[in-house]
Structure 1
């Protein structure tokens, strides 16, 4: 089973947006931060694919003062009151996956957890792990990332990050294994990403991003991998209430 590369990338991006690039201050008690918008994206059809796919998807995010947040298809909760160290559980919805033979898997929940640590004002360390709950595929994926953000001119900022994904044998088998090839667990890919954000007005924000990833190890050696390097790009327009 090949997980849909673009949807997985959008989910990862949403998690990072909610967990790794948020304001360091906590919301006042009883308040909620609500944002709606749309995301246009283009990426490989799935990890290791030469084919590309384009999507236009609605975007929704909300965070409550009690720590609960929704970001796209992900629901989570901040368990720490320390704005410099945030951690908690995650649950997300996988919209489906594309099999190597052309079929697709159905909807399924994904369970996980995240942690953020901000040792410096301009440096954030993030990690999240998740495991799909389905008979069609199993295993655990761990994603780690270091990110920084700087203001260029008033209302414009630039964020950049580097990271890596690691998976166990079951996860690698579901994504890249065949009847004759069983990849072992370990480093799955490394990636670098950048995002420019423009605060158009008090309510509207426009951002564009690009992410380059490189499959490694057993994922790169699989016969199901057509190309090791994948480039994904996105354009997001948000309206904040």
Structure 2
């Protein structure tokens, strides 16, 4: 089991974290690849009370030149130092529909009942009713990680391009304890971190414009930027064979500050749980 797979399953609700795999030295011209399928239960959107359960594709590939694909993210390791990782990073920020989901095929959603009636009566059933749909957006930025010890890594990334106006920026700071063995064939890794956003990001995902206020019944809300959330997570990997692995994760997050005070937020605390089988090619 190498370090590459420790971050293969990166899911955190509607705004998935753009996590970078660890550097994986390999012969020139080679690649390391994992692919699989599982299931994830996550909030319908950041701050939702209801959850959605859907199929979870798992994909992580790293090439000897440093290029990698990890879930919805892609990037390239440029550092030649073993204790430092940095490079460009691309990510797809998911779409948010009026129902709170991205409208994915095969998705099973809980807590999205809708009762027709006057605008103010709709608030109790779906707080996104009357809100503008947010399109799927590519984010561009970079990452910078530093190893405090072989098993401990400080992580950071900055990505811009989220929201319909493409001017939402978010930065993540965190610490990770890379996979350690708890029993034969069983490893666990843990992480914790913070997410900071600019005002454009908060207004796109937690704000209510005057036109949206008229159509949804919510008060107009114009949040500022700053610390958006705090999160912790754990991942368990079970090596079933040299090629097959069962990987499971849980992540808990809490919205804070202006994001927490949004009229769209039903619940500040959210939990995402996922599990998947993956095969190493």
Alignment of 1:153-192 (within 5 A): 153-179=183-209, 180-192=220-232
> Shift of residue 117 of structure 1?
1.1
Residue pair 2:135, 2:163 contacting (<8 A) in 1 also: no
CA distance 1:92–1:45, change in 2 (3 Å): same
Determine which structure has the larger strand proportion and give its number.
Answer: 1
The question of 1:205 aligning with 2:245 is answered: yes
Q: How does 1:11-30 map to 2 (within 5 A)?
A: 12=17, 15-16=18-19, 18-19=20-21, 22=22, 25-30=24-29
Q: Which runs of 5 or more residues in structure 1 are unaligned? A: none
Are the counterparts in 2 of residues 46 and 98 from structure 1 also a CA contact under 8 Å? Answer: no
Q: Greater Rg, structure 1 or structure 2?
A: 2
Distance 1:238 1:191 in 2: 25
Q: CA deviation at 1:34?
A: 1.2
1:131 aligns with 2:131: no
Q: For residues 87-144 of structure 1, what are the alpha-carbon distances to aligned partners after superposition, in whole Å with 9 as ceiling and x for unaligned? A: 1111122342234236533332111211111111221111111112664452210111
Contact conserved, 1:96 with 1:106, CA < 8 A, in 2? yes
Whether 1:8 and 2:15 are equivalent positions in the alignment is yes
Q: Which runs of 5+ in 2 are unaligned?
A: 1-11, 99-127, 210-219
| Greater than 6 Å deviation, 4+ residue runs | none
Q: Is the 8 A contact 1:111 1:133 kept in 2?
A: no
Check conservation: 1:137, 1:174, Cα contact below 8 A: no
**1:139/1:167 contact within 8 Å kept:** yes
Question: TM-score normalised to the size of structure 1?
Answer: 0.88
Is 1:236 the counterpart of 2:265? The answer is no
Note the aligned Cα RMSD (angstroms): 1.9
